[in-house]
Structure 1
């Protein structure tokens, strides 16, 4: 059995701000990770493609408030920055 992917360790280099902000990003990143794992069986952000994050932001958050979608976009940008890609999340 493989070890679960540690999202906190993955984001450690790009998380900044207050403790509450870092915790929010971590909670949201774990929610994104769980949704992508459920849909595409990809647990590791290194294996994600742009379409995975776009799907999450469009399909899984379509009934959420604009503020919630904004904060999830910020978290997706942190994940993208950590991966080292230039993806756009509109």
Structure 2
């Protein structure tokens, strides 16, 4: 199985005009912190990677740099069925 690089996956889904739009909606966040992943695409990514081993590493790597990583984080947690899997305890 190939290793999933979540940040690369997000940038592969990038829509620059959507990132510009998001940045205008949230002026308190710098434009360069938006990748521009549309929510339906982020939701599909979350469903696909939620059970990958790399996800726990992503969930523990806080704070996330990009706004889209935070959105994906929430979507991944919403895909988890077991409460204990949702709880991230620092190492």
**Bin of the TM-score, shorter chain as denominator length:** 0.3 to 0.5
Higher Rg = 2
- Normalised to the residue count of structure 2, the TM-score between the two structures is 0.32
Specify which structure has the higher proportion of helix.
1
- Normalised to the residue count of structure 1, the TM-score between the two structures is 0.33
Q: Which has the higher contact order (CA 8 A, sep 6+)?
A: 1
